[in-house]
Structures are given as structure tokens and as C-alpha cells.
């Protein structure tokens, strides 16, 4: 969420930031709506103050036996009491219109984020490892079937974009998740968390999945799971017109509706919602291995084969809560932690600095890590590490108090990243460590989590 005070102070900078996102200028209409809301607030405060003063004056007039004045004052109080409720509703609606507009607008990109419209304009900033030859390499679908990767049974049970992992490939997936968790906790100091995977509206609003991206979520409704797209979600092609959806959301933020998490970022970041932290506590670092659920509403027809884009998948998430002064260094540290996993598994990758048009809604700077997949002869995203600044903290009201100060608080900064997506890492291991006989070698660093097994071999 943007700070309306900063927009009042420098509307040109705000519009310039939106322009880098490919969006039209918003400051003029936003500030006009803000002025209306503030004017109504002032008018409401004036009427309330007048009512209170008039109520006090009635007693004084009666004490002075001035019945005429007392009656005039009582009549005025009655008028004010009749007028105030309507003005309160008008002021509330005006304030919500401003909040809705602010909630609909993405974070402003940092100055060093490259200009661009989509992934073609991202900038490679690092490359590690020597990509294995794609000649003769099989993709993970063909490799995985004899090792226990079963899409056909999942299709019958759950439909498209689900999979059974059985036998050796299930063990390999479990080992990868445990290896990642153990590495992030012991080497990088993240606190392991086992979080809820069902969350309320306000948790998803806090991390900005709601209201804009409702269509990408699965909602638990009356014991059933329903894609957000079937619940009146906002058209994802529309970048701005979500005010009505947000206004409706505000009335539901504390109800009993639950959503399956699209990422543990939601559960972990909301650990600090509506809290005032001490500066000495920061940075906080959390990690979790959870299932994640996404309807992939905006990905129709993409990656329909294999594990790359599933409705349900496991992921190790990294979340940091910092001061503003710490967040850039923490972003570099978090990215390095994700890269360490790839390097330990000897998986070639590249780091991409995302352009302004390809960043996520909440991010102000994002590094994507793309792993080499010889079965596809291309690099594919396996981790995305983002610095969100105070954008999410404003939505969650997550603050901290500086050392030595008794009064005053500042919004914290939040960061999140994949450390890594387990399914995509499984794909990368299968394709990069495959042998001609159909077996897959286990990267040496992973073997302790596989009980010393050096390779998995076909069982079907």
C-alpha cells in the first residue's frame, strides 16, 4: 500500500513510478478523491465538536434559566444528530474509495530496476555452472515415470495439473525439502516454522494477493474448494478497476472465509501483522516447507506437461522482516541463500534482475533464479526473491520502534523468496543428473538426506 502523504508531497514522482510499471498517471484523480475525503472528515469533526459544545451549553442555559436559549440549542443538537449519520456514511465511503485505489496500485520499482514490459526485458546479472548438453537429454516426464512419477492416476483422482510421487521419486522430493530446510536453518539462521495453510481474507490482503489476484487462489467454501475465479474475481486483464471488489472485501476481512495458501509467504509474513516490534529484534528470518495451492488462472495452456506448473506443489519459503536500513543487504543475503542450494546440488543457474513490467505486484526489486533444464534446453525459474519495502507492512500494520525511542514507530520492510520450489528442483535434479540407463544420480551434497543412496533406479 502506498503512503498517501508521500503522494501529496510529490505526485510527479508517484506518477513516474507508475509509468515505469506501464500504468497511467493516478495522482490527480487520487488526490482529488483524497481532498474530498479529508474535507468530509473535517466537516464531520466540526459537526461533532459543535454538537458536543451545544450539549454542554444546554446545561449552562438551563442553569441560567434561559429557556429560550436552551430550546434553541436543543433544536440545533437535534439537527446535528440527524445530519451526522449521513455525513459519517459519506465520509466512510469517500475514505474507502481512496483506500481502494491505493490497494489496487502496485509497488513502486527501485531506481536500479531496468525499464521493460515483460520477461524479455529482464537483465542477467550472474551465471553459475556449466550447462549440461541437451543433446540426447530426456525431460523429467519421461525420466520420472519409471521412477514413480505418476500423472495418469492423479488425473483420475484430482484432474489436470496434479501428480502422484511414488517410490524413489517421492523419497528424492522429501530429501530435497529437508535438505533445504536444514541448510537455511543451520547455515543461514532462519527460524523453522510449521504454519497454517488455511488463512483468512485479511492475511491475503496483507501480502497483497487479495483483492487483485483472487482468481489465482483456491477458497475453502462450505467445506469445498473453489477457485477464486468462480467467486466473482476481478478480471486480471484490468489493471485498475478493482475499487468495487476492494470495497466489498473490507466488509469481509474478519469473517470466517478461508483460503489455501498460494505460498507460505502469506502465513510467515503475517506473523508480524498488527505488531510493534523492537528494532533489536530485527531482522526476523522465517522459513517453512509447505504445500502451496494455485489455480493458475492466468496460465491457461502454459506448461501443461509435467511438474513445472501444478495446482499443488511443495515449496521452501524464506521471509525476512527488517528495518528500512537493513532491507537491501537482506535481499542480497536471501538471494545468496537460495543460490547456495543450487550450487550445493551442482545445478547450473543464472540470476535475473526483473524489469519494471515483469515484477510482482508487491515487489520493489526482484531477483529470479533460473535453473538449467537440459530436457528443455533452456533456463526456467526456480526461485524469486523480492524486496517489498514497506508495501506489505502498511497493509498489515507491521511496525517497529527504533532503539532508545519511547514514542513513534516506523513501518517494517518485508522480503520473501523461494528457497527453493521443491517440485522444480526435483525436475532439475532429474534432468541434470540423469544417466543413459534411466537411473538418476543423487548429488553428493544430498546423499546424507537419502540415507547414503548414490542413485535412484527405475522400479517400473
Active site residues: 294, 309, 381, 384, 424
Q: Nearest 10 degrees: CA dihedral of 158, 162, 165, 169?
A: 170
**Residue closest to 161 by CA, chosen among 264, 255, 302:** 302
Report how far apart, in Å, the C-alpha atoms of 81 and of each of 55, 108, 309, 333 are: 11, 43, 58, 58
**Residue closest to 190 by CA, chosen among 83, 51, 316, 312:** 316
The x, y and z cell numbers of residue 96, run together, are 474507502
Report how far apart, in Å, the C-alpha atoms of 214 and of each of 58, 127, 179 are: 53, 35, 33
**How many residues make up the chain in this entry?**
460
CA dist 263 and 265 (Å) reads 5
Contacts of 76 (CB under 8 A, 6+ apart): 50, 54
Cα 107 from chain centroid (whole Å): 12
Contacts of 373 (CB under 8 A, 6+ apart): 139, 140, 379, 380, 427, 428, 431, 432
Residue 46 burial (CB < 10 Å; 0-12/13-18/19+)?
exposed
Amino acid at each position: 500500500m502506498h503512503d498517501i502523504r508521500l503522494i501529496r508531497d510529490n505526485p510527479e514522482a508517484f506518477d513516474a513510478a507508475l509509468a515505469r510499471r506501464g500504468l497511467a498517471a493516478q495522482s490527480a484523480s487520487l488526490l482529488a478523491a483524497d481532498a474530498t475525503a479529508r474535507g468530509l472528515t473535517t466537516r464531520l469533526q466540526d459537526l461533532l465538536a459543535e454538537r458536543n459544545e451545544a450539549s454542554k451549553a444546554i446545561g449552562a442555559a438551563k442553569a441560567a434559566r434561559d429557556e429560550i436559549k436552551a430550546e434553541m440549542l436543543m433544536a440545533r443538537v437535534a439537527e446535528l444528530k440527524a445530519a451526522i449519520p449521513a455525513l459519517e456514511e459519506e465520509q466512510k465511503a469517500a475514505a474507502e474509495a481512496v483506500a481502494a485505489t491505493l490497494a489496487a496500485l502496485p509497488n513502486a520499482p527501485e531506481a536500479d530496476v531496468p525499464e521493460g514490459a515483460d520477461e524479455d526485458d529482464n537483465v542477467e546479472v550472474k551465471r553459475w555452472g556449466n550447462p549440461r548438453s541437451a543433446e540426447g537429454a530426456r525431460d523429467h516426464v519421461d525420466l520420472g515415470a519409471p521412477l514413480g512419477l505418476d500423472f495418469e492416476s492423479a488425473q483420475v483422482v484430482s484432474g489436470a495439473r496434479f501428480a502422484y510421487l511414488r517410490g524413489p521419486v517421492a523419497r528424492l522430493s522429501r530429501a530435497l525439502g529437508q535438505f533445504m530446510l536444514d541448510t537455511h536453518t543451520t547455515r543461514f539462521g532462519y527460524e523453522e516454522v510449521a504454519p497454517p495453510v488455511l488463512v483468512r481474507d485479511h492475511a491475503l490482503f496483507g501480502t497483497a494477493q487479495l483483492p487483485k489476484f483472487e482468481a489465482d487462489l483456491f477458497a475453502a467454501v462450505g467445506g469445498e474448494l473453489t477457485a477464486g475465479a468462480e467467486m466473482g474475481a476481478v478480471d486480471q486483464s484490468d489493471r485498475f478497476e478493482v475499487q468495487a471488489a476492494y470495497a466489498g472485501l473490507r466488509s469481509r476481512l474478519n469473517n470466517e472465509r478461508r483460503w489455501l495458501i498460494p505460498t507460505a509467504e502469506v502465513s510467515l509474513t503475517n506473523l508480524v501483522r498488527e505488531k510493534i516490534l523492537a528494532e533489536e529484534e530485527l531482522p526476523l528470518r522465517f522459513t517453512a516447507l509447505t504445500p502451496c495451492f494455485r489455480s493458475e488462472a492466468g496460465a491457461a495452456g502454459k506448461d501443461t506437461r509435467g511438474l513445472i506448473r501444478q495446482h499443488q506443489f511443495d515449496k521452501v519459503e524464506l521471509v525476512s522482516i527488517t528495518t528500512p536500513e537493513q532491507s537491501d543487504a537482506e535481499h542480497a543475503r536471501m538471494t545468496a541463500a537460495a543460490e547456495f542450494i543450487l550450487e550445493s546440488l551442482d545445478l547450473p543457474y543464472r540470476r535475473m534482475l526483473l524489469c519494471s513490467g515483469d515484477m510482482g505486484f508487491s515487489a520493489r526489486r526482484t531477483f529470479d533464479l533460473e535453473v538449467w533444464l537440459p530436457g528443455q534446453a533452456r533456463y526456467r525459474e526456480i526461485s524469486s526473491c523480492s524486496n517489498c519495502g514497506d508495501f506489505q507492512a502498511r497493509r498489515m500494520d507491521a511496525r517497529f520502534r527504533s532503539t532508545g525511542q519511547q514514542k513513534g514507530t516506523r513501518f517494517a520492510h518485508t522480503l520473501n523468496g523461494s528457497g527453493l520450489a521443491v517440485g522444480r528442483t526435483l525436475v532439475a535434479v532429474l534432468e541434470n543428473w540423469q544417466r543413459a540407463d534411466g537411473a538418476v544420480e543423487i548429488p553428493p551434497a544430498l546423499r546424507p538426506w537419502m540415507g547414503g543412496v548414490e542413485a535412484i533406479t527405475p522400479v517400473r
